[in-house]
Chains A and B, each alone.
Chain A
Amino acid sequence: MTNLVNTLGIMLYATLIYMTPLLYASLGSCFSEVSGVINIGIEGMMTAGAFTGTVVAYFTGNPWIGFLCGGLAGAFFGMLHAIATVNLGADQTIAGTAINMLGPGIVIMIAKVMFNSTDTIPLEASMKIPRLFRGVFDTSTVFGRFMDNVFANYAATYLVFIAALVVWFVFYKTRFGLRLRACGEHPQACETLGIDVLKMRFACVCISGFLSGLGGAFVTMAISNQFRPISIVGQGFIAIAAVIFGKFRPHGALLGCLLFGFCSGLKVVLGGSSGIDMQLISMIPYVVTVIVLVLFVGKSRVPSANGRPFVRAK
């Protein structure tokens, strides 16, 4: 029993740690995709955020300024993507691919110049994103340890759940959200009703960059304490997958990230104790995602105008 509770605690901890950056990026991806712009550049935006967040935190000593700047760096690349796809009508896949090369390319080059290495200098504990409720729980008892594992978590993890709630509210309970969804379904109709589709999409792609940047910054400022070129390896794409999994809805994306995080947690627990080959265990999150899709989720409807540049009729 003691063991079980312990294991469960570790697993939930791992779930939360894995899902937080994914959820930030997924929420970002929702904004972009639902407004009608495919954003495959999430990965590059996350890398930019990961680097900027760590560097700013390192020089200012303040994790929150770093975290915010990580978001802004992501938003900068989001803006590049927006200029290309929204204003210039570029092919969205091509532009996103470019962002995926430019983001890591530029920041790793800057790292090389600043630190004479592709890695940044590790952050001290005070510069990392703080953990809330640390020391509140009595870790000498089994229950206390469980609570410590699950609830004494990074502040940004609490924040991402609030963010998910806010995004859901914005999407479904505000005028902005209604317009945003309409832009992705039928931009021509929006335009006839006086909604500036280009402005809406521009804003949404920038927001998606901002949130992805936050996700990236979480990886290097909480999970790890330094930026390395392999800090962001595929999380951006997993985040996109989570959005498709969630049928392009923020609450669906939350479930997708939760499932993925949970399977990754399972991987951590099984990897330590069972005799199964680690490589096979590592497949679990990916295989389970596909199985769950086939069994329970099924077809995901892409917003009608997703991927199509909007050109204003004269």
Chain B
Amino acid sequence: MSKKKGFLEFVAGNRFIHILLSILLGFLVGAIFLAIMGLSVGEAYGRLITSVTSLKGFSYVIVYSIPYIVVGLSVAFSFKTGVFNIGAEGQFVMGSMAAAVVGILAGGLPKIVLIPLCFLAAMLAGAIWGVIVGFLKTKWGINEVLSMIMFNWVAFYLSNFIAGIPAIHSDGTAEATKNISDNASTLLSKDLINSLGLCPTANWGILVAIAVTVLVWFIIEKTTLGYELKAVGSNKFAAEYGGINVNRSILTALAISGALAGLGGSLQLMGMGSRISVFSSQEGFGFAGIVVALIGCSNPFGVLIAGIFYGALTFGGSKLNLVGAPTQLINVIVGTVVFFIAISIIFQRLRYIRKPAKPKAPAPDKKANGKEAAEK
């Protein structure tokens, strides 16, 4: 009995376990849906697992996860600094378009110059898109969520407009930009891909993603800048009293967050897409970034793992058709996971399960919450 209680208490107190439980419950709900549809749960999940565990499959997963990780970091960074970057979508689009423009127009430059230039252009474009919103907020008090939603769509149409400019537009019939120069591509060499048996879009963007993960962790945890931004995020009045320039902090946070989302756009383009199609609807990388940041608890390393998890689900999910299961199942699973992460307080209550003697078991829990609310 005491051992079991100890276990429950361990489960109740561990954030990481809550996420694992949420993921399990997500798959459980997915299984229920599969069963209702009369499909074999084993077959569908078996397909999901086998498609991501082969070397080729796993290389696909990594390639898929690169933009999710970097955009996830962008959103996580914004959460840490008290802004909700719902505008990552627009910053992502601007970033990938900036990288495309540089990658097409300056295609003659050698790889060693062109690739950093593309990254830089993308980060700059994303940062500008973030800073405009920040400027509207700090200068005129315009709610950032509102302007971000608007700027997501402006970016969407601006990207479509740029894709239509003759110098950028594809020479063929495709409704897309030209392909970026090979010198701007982050793809691994054909020989290496073939000899290792990786997927055809295998690229070294994941190394950038990992480096950025470490960098974001370093900025948030180890620098004065990170400390200031976090201080503004948790209580801007206290931060201002402490001598931090709140407006400048908000602008900095949005610039960094925007630069990250823009970088995600360029990594996606230079590794996978090599050109940008004229969109008919938003591609949802920004939204995926929010989900990844939430699953990763806004911790940079958590985001790295969550990004790969999301990449695995997206890639594996695209194979579900083969066993007759709808691809949308993945959204239901991920949605359920996020839902349980939101209500992970129920896992904390596991602590009180084995106390039948006290009828008012949840009382101390509520007290703890009351304190939390009071602190806020």
Chain A residues with a Cβ under 8 A of chain B:
40, 80, 83-85, 88-91, 93-95, 97-102, 104-106, 108-109, 112-113, 118, 230, 233-234, 237-238, 240-241, 244-245, 277, 279-280, 282-283, 286-287, 289-290, 293-294, 298-300, 302, 308-314
Contact = CB atoms under 8 A, between A and B. Distances in A.
Contact of A283 (B157, B329, B330, B343): B157
B37 interface: yes
B336 A98 contact: yes
B153 interface: yes
A298 B140 contact: yes
Interface in B256-291: 280-282, 287, 290-291
Given A88-B345, A108-B326, A277 B149 contact: no
B66 interface: no
A127 B57 CA distance: 46
B149 A237 contact: yes
B369 A283 contact: no
B100 interface: no
B146 to A, nearest CB: 4
Given A112-B326, A280-B157, A311-B373, A101 B331 contact: yes
Contacts of A313: 370
Interface in B114-147: 136, 140-143, 145-147
B294 A97 contact: yes
Contacts of B342: 84-85, 90-91, 94-95, 98
Most chain B CB inside 10 Å of its own CB: which residue of A101, A112, A113, A293 = A101
A277 B343 CA distance: 47
Contact of B373 (A94, A97, A309): A309
Interface stretch (B44-52, B158-166, B232-240): B158-166
Most chain A CB inside 10 Å of its own CB: which residue of B328, B338, B341 = B328
B151 interface: yes
Contacts of A97: 287, 290-291, 294, 338
Interface of B: 33, 37, 84, 86, 136, 140-143, 145-147, 149-154, 157-158, 160-161, 164, 280-282, 287, 290-291, 294, 326, 328-332, 334-336, 338-339, 341-343, 345-346, 363, 366-367, 369-370, 372-373, 376
Nearest to A242: B146
Contacts of B345: 88-90
Contacts of B363: 314
Given A277-B164, A290-B136, A308 B336 contact: no
Nearest to A105: B331
Contacts of A298: 140-142
A283 B281 contact: no
A108 B328 contact: yes
20 contacts: A84-B343, A99-B339, A100-B287, A101-B332, A102-B331, A102-B335, A102-B339, A108-B326, A238-B149, A241-B146, A279-B157, A279-B158, A280-B161, A290-B147, A293-B146, A298-B140, A298-B142, A299-B141, A311-B369, A312-B366
A114 to B, nearest CB: 10
B366 A314 contact: yes
Contact of B282 (A102, A118, A233): A233
A21 to B, nearest CB: 16
A109 B150 CA distance: 30
B281 A93 contact: no
A40 B342 CA distance: 13
A282 B161 CA distance: 10
Contact of B328 (A105, A277, A299): A105
B336 A233 contact: no
What is the predominant secondary structure among interface residues of chain A facing chain B?
Answer: helix
Contacts of A294: 136, 140, 142
A258 B328 CA distance: 34
Contacts of A244: 143, 145-146
Contacts of A241: 145-146, 149-150
Contacts of B86: 40, 237
Contacts of A233: 281-282
A283 B153 contact: yes
B335 A98 contact: yes
Given A89-B369, A94-B342, A282 B157 contact: yes
Nearest to A236: B149
Nearest to A281: B157
Contacts of A312: 366
A286 B147 CA distance: 9
A98 B149 CA distance: 18
B294 to A, nearest CB: 5
A245 B147 CA distance: 10
Contacts of A85: 342
Nearest to A310: B373
B335 A105 contact: yes
Contacts of A104: 328, 331
The 3 closest A-B pairs by CB, nearest first: A105-B331, A101-B335, A299-B141
A118 B152 CA distance: 26
Contacts of B329: 105, 109
A287 B339 CA distance: 34
A82 B161 CA distance: 41
A101 B330 CA distance: 9
A277 B158 CA distance: 11
